[in-house]
Amino acid sequence: MPTLRTWQVVAGSAVAGLALAASVVVAAGPWDSGQRTAERERAASRSHRGGADHGEGRVPQAAPSAPGVLAAVSGAGPRQAGAPTALADALRPLLADPALGDVRAASVVDAATGAVLYEEKPREPMTPASTVKIATAAAALAALGPEHRIATTVVPGAGAGRIVLVGGGDPSLSAKKKNPAGPGGSLVVLAADTAQALKATGTETVTLAYDDSLWTGPARHPIGRNPNIAPMSALMADEGRPDDSTSGPVDRTDTPAQDAAAAFAALLRERGITVTGAPARAKAPAGAQALATTWSTPVAGLVERMLTTSDNDIAEALARQTAVAAGKPADFEGGEKAVAEKLASLGLDLTGTRFADGSGLNRADKVSSGLLTALLAKAAEPGRPELRPVLTGLPVAGFNGTLRARNAGSSPAAGLLRAKTGTLSGVNSLAGTVVDPSGRLLAFAFLTANTPGPEGAEKALDKLAAAVATTSPGGS
């Protein structure tokens, strides 16, 4: 039986009020665990040629991007000028809910025109939690492009019979025969290609080293050891997870690069290459030509996976890739500067902002609700197709990712709403897009602080989002 896609579920269960929602989700492309089907099947499939360089001497081509998201953005389709008073009347009492703490900020804008429909403290910088991933995603896409792939390579070492496994910072790299998280770089394929290249030169015994020097600075996130994130490493397989989990908290390895190298050594042995001793850290010789290469899923796919499941490891890797693209050190400070500079180049007002990390785990992050809606509106601009994965990666209310169980079932926002969640102790946020009853694509962001508990805050945020989804310009 074919896999049932989210858009099919929406279309199949639609009532009159969800008819528009079905077309919205279809326009964004079919869904499969946060990845567009085209990218899963064409960009990095597990076929013979998927995910690796098999000697063709060129970077594999990424699958075409999904069609332009949300046709209503272009100006086609119904659009009423409508006074925003009805929306304000609907949101004000909901925003006053004590479950939202004692500091609240809100912004709702028409994504096509930029018109402000509702706002409260829209320029006040607040701790955004994981909604900062919207900023990380936009910066990485703007800096690298949606089709960019990250390479993990094997190069000759300094001396005969020596090889070096070089990490390029691919957060999708896996040591499993089939990566449970989806397509990405494969140590299995890389080992097969390396073994083939070695045997072609008559080499069947090697000493293996590994180079994880691309990332600099502290290996630990400022929050310290935490099951929500692995140590920072440019060479890591399966996000340092000891099981087949692909998201959520789990204890991680303390030695991700060493573990990835050990797994690679075992894969080489399975393919007839004798690896002497245990892999040791070493710098790859400058200018060394690759014996074999495996490539990550395209940045567009990484962004979608990050946003759908709120993947902290991908977020930090993308912040560092943005730093590398800008010629800055690949550490927290370099990522912060590079993300800010790239977003500023898009014409966004960054007053008071700080991107202390890429994931939102750091409470030092500061973002305004107005910046979040500006980012979402920027991603919807027809002239910015490279930013479209910021929208297509957002979870769909009641269907997938971190919104699977929120605004679900009989909620009037089920299937209509796409948004990024944010949760830290005392901090809850929600930012995303929705098509209102008049056909306008709206971008919204709600930030809160000092909330008494996550459950009540999430329910209150969901009511706010549902009100944005269901309030027509005229208030009917």
For the stretch 71-108, pLDDT in tens is 333 333 333 334 468 999 999 999 999 999 999 999 99
Q: Which amino acid is at 354?
A: R
Q: What is the mean pLDDT of residues 161-171?
A: 98
127: CB partners within 8 A, 6+ apart:
363, 364, 365, 366, 424, 427, 447, 449
Give the model's pLDDT for residue 472.
Answer: 80
Closest CA to 168 of 190, 196, 146, 195: 190
* Residue 31, strand partner residues: 36
What is the rounded CA–CA span in Å between residue 372 and residue 370?
Answer: 5
Is the confidence at residue 3, as pLDDT, over 70?
no
Tokens of 306: 């990050």
Q: What is the mean pLDDT of residues 115-125?
A: 96
Residues 37, 30: contact at Cβ < 8 Å? Answer: yes
pLDDT band, residue 257 (cuts 50/70/90): very high
Residue predicted with more confidence, 13 or 329: 329
Q: What is the mean pLDDT of residues 310-327?
A: 98
Residue 227: count of CB within 10 angstroms of its CB: 11
pTM for the predicted model, two decimal places: 0.85
Q: Known catalytic residues?
A: 130, 133, 310
- Quick: pLDDT tens for 193-247: 999 999 999 999 999 999 999 999 999 999 999 999 999 999 999 999 999 999 9
What is the rounded CA–CA span in Å between residue 108 and residue 377?
Answer: 10
Is the confidence at residue 13, as pLDDT, over 80?
no
pLDDT band, residue 407 (cuts 50/70/90): very high
What is the rounded CA–CA span in Å between residue 352 and residue 148?
Answer: 31
Give the model's pLDDT for residue 75.
Answer: 36
* Range of weakest confidence among 83-97, 148-162, 249-263, 394-408: 83-97
Give the model's pLDDT for residue 150.
Answer: 98
Closest CA to 419 of 395, 385, 438: 395
Radius of gyration of the chain from Cα atoms?
23
* Range of weakest confidence among 62-66, 285-289, 303-307: 62-66
Closest CA to 404 of 14, 110, 31, 149: 31
Helix, strand and coil percent figures for the chain, each rounded to 5: 35, 15, 45
